[in-house]
Amino acid sequence: MAAILITGGAGFLGSYVCERLLALGHSVVAFDMSNGEKIEHLLSNPSFRFVQDSILNAPALEREIDRSDIVVHFAAIADPKRYVMEPLVTLQIDLQGALNVFQMASKRKAKVIFASTSEVYGKNPRVPWKETDDRVLGSTHVNRWCYATAKAAGEHYCYAYHQSEGMTFVTYRFFNVYGPRLDDLGSGRVLPIFLKQCLQDEPITIHGDGSQTRTFVYVEDAADGVVRGMFEKQAENQVFNIGSSQELSILELAQKLKEVGKFSSSITTVTHQEVFGNSYEDIPRRVPDVSKSKKILKWEATTSIEDGLFKTIEYYRRRSQGQCAQV
Ligand SMILES: NC(=O)c1ccc[n+]([C@@H]2O[C@H](COP(=O)([O-])OP(=O)(O)OC[C@H]3O[C@@H](n4cnc5c(N)ncnc54)[C@H](O)[C@@H]3O)[C@@H](O)[C@H]2O)c1
């Protein structure tokens, strides 16, 4: 059984990966600067430990990496509202923090599992995107690209550390993962925004005209993909798309949410400029080609959007009525 460190392990996706690894009998440490609300239910497990600290605190991070066989690097600023409004903090955490992890894991000869993002493809119009497809990003004066740029630099570091230092890695590009525990309803990710509006019986505000498309992968499916690749020899030193193939426009997502949750909110639109000023530029279509993940990880998303939304809505309903903690 392996000793596994998960930076960002008390986050949304990290909390599910912790659960799965513990169920498989591994020893798991979540290293995260949050208050640990999302992993509270794991604290009594003797194979689990929570370290509340920042990946920018190098000595604290190194102490934990030095005890690990595998380092899953999920800690990041991943909320669009934050990376548009706080580009410096985003770059410090998503780039410098990742570099800390790679340097220390490489020295320790630990395997690295790196969370990248579909954002690295930018606005490449030729969907679906294969892992080897081009990155088409906007100008550096638009803050929104700082997140994609930091994550892409992280991917380059993985290849470079592998080439120069023999570090073993697996990189995942996640495409809009959703589910219970996603975020507080004040975050800037699309589903929490819509859900908050629905639960408060307010109009759903779509940013832009709603024709932009995304695919949504349920968190349990995504966590399954992460764990499969972590222990698959053939996956080593490669990048994988983790997403669903079902393309939905944001307008369709809003309609589906209303339908599944039986919400009565109306649907309105606001321009990106009204929300983010000039620091944002939207991606018209975002669709993964998941054939490589199917072939090598033997993985594909299996939860339908209706089932996934139903479970997510139920969770946020219970939380908004004060009936459940984060789990
Ligand atoms: N959820 C998605 O749809 C999605 C899509 C693409 C990529 N990703 C990537 O997957 C990873 C997990 O995303 P998530 O959705 O679970 O996000 P999340 O925000 O829930 O989790 C990130 C965690 O990192 C922690 N963190 C932030 N800065 C830190 C620091 N300096 N030191 C220690 N911990 C810190 C946060 O407290 C949080 O718990 C991230 O790297 C994200 O960029 C997620």
Contact 227, 17 (CB under 8 A): yes
Type of residue found at 56: L
- pLDDT tens by residue, 141-156: 999 999 999 999 999 9
CA of 55 to the centre of ligand 1 (A): 12
Query: Residue 32 in 3-state DSSP?
Result: strand
Ligand 1 atom 10 nearest Cα = 115
295, with CB counted inside 10 A (0-12, 13-18, 19+), is exposed
Q: What is the pLDDT of residue 298?
A: 98
Of the pLDDT bands very low, low, confident and very high (cuts 50, 70, 90), residue 275 is confident
> Closest ligand 1 atom to the C-alpha of 93?
31
Q: What's the token pair of residue 222?
A: 């995504």
Query: Residue 259 in 3-state DSSP?
Result: helix
Q: Angle between the 305-320 and 250-261 helix axes, to the nearest 10 degrees?
A: 60
Average pLDDT estimate for 233-239: 98
Contacts of 84 (CB under 8 A, 6+ apart): 143, 144, 188, 276, 279, 280
Q: Give the C-alpha separation, 65 to 201, whole Å.
A: 46
Q: What is the pLDDT of residue 185?
A: 72
Contacts of 108 (CB under 8 A, 6+ apart): 65, 66, 68
- pTM comes to 0.96
Q: Is 147 noted as a catalytic residue in this protein?
A: yes
Assign residue 114 the CATH number of its domain: 3.40.50.720
Top-confidence residue, 283 or 262? 262
Mutate to test the pocket of ligand 1, among 5, 6, 13 (most ligand atoms within 8 A of CB): 13
Ligand 1 near 154 CB (within 6 A): no
**140 is a domain residue:** yes
Q: What is the DSSP letter of 131?
A: T
Mutate to test the pocket of ligand 1, among 74, 113, 182, 215 (most ligand atoms within 8 A of CB): 74
Query: Residue 23 in 3-state DSSP?
Result: helix
Give φ, ψ of 268 to 5 degrees: -125, 170
Residue of 216, 274, 223 whose CA lies nearest to 244: 216
**199 is a domain residue:** no
Of the pLDDT bands very low, low, confident and very high (cuts 50, 70, 90), residue 184 is confident
Mutate to test the pocket of ligand 1, among 54, 117, 240, 326 (most ligand atoms within 8 A of CB): 117
Q: What's the token pair of residue 237?
A: 């030193």
Candidate list 16, 83, 121, 147, residue with the active-site label: 147
With residue 177 as reference, give the H or E element that holds it: strand 177-178
Q: What is the pLDDT of residue 27?
A: 98
Q: What's the token pair of residue 323?
A: 């009936």
**19 is a domain residue:** yes
Query: Residue 213 in 3-state DSSP?
Result: strand
Give yes or no for residue 324 having a pLDDT over 70.
no
Taken in order 203, 204, 207, 211, the sign of the CA dihedral is negative
CA of 158 to the centre of ligand 1 (A): 18
Give yes or no for residue 238 having a pLDDT over 80.
yes
Type of residue found at 155: E
Domain count, the chain: 1
**48 is a domain residue:** yes
278, with CB counted inside 10 A (0-12, 13-18, 19+), is exposed
**299 is a domain residue:** no
Q: What average pLDDT does the structure give for the chain?
A: 95
Contact 327, 41 (CB under 8 A): yes
**279 is a domain residue:** no
Q: Which domain holds residue 73?
A: 3-178+217-242
**275 is a domain residue:** no
- pLDDT tens by residue, 186-231: 777 899 999 999 999 999 999 999 999 999 999 999 999 999 999 9
Q: Give the C-alpha separation, 21 to 13, whole Å.
A: 13
Ligand 1 atom 42 nearest Cα = 78
Q: What's the token pair of residue 280?
A: 């944002």
Ligand 1 atom 41 nearest Cα = 74
**41 is a domain residue:** yes
Q: What is the pLDDT of residue 327?
A: 60
